[in-house]
Amino acid sequence: MSSGATLWIALAGMALVTYLLRASFLLLPPEVPTPAALRRILRFVPASVLTAIWAPELLLRNEVLFVSLENERLLAGLVAIAVAWRWRITSATIAAGLAALHLFAALTASLPA
């Protein structure tokens, strides 16, 4: 089997699994109860997904862990996390994170090599 066919089969499989998982909550009759443990677990899904998206962007460079004061993404992420924790305003978090990213990028670019 060619790599192109393998890729399409994998994509179709992932799409099918995703569809079935999402549709299961909509297609089940209302009288089927959702277990309390599942409801508790589902509360954490959005935070888990968001962390899975931003953590590699902040912590990895060229697929290697890069925790350093020269990592402007990590520093800007810490600023954004602090703003989000303190004020809980999404637009302020985004603005602070972007401003910090540009500031730290300019500062690290001006450092001697």
Q: What is the DSSP string of the chain?
A: --HHHHHHHHHHHHHHHHHHHHHHHHHS-TTSPPPHHHHHHHTTHHHHHHHHHHHHHHHEETTEE--STT-HHHHHHHHHHHHHHHH--HHHHHHHHHHHHHHHHHHHHTS--
Question: Could you report the per-residue pLDDT of 54-79, keeping only the tens digit for each?
Answer: 999 999 999 999 999 999 999 999 99
pTM above 0.85, yes or no: no
Question: Could you report the per-residue pLDDT of 10-43, keeping only the tens digit for each?
Answer: 999 999 999 988 888 788 888 888 889 988 998 9
Q: What is the pLDDT of residue 26?
A: 82
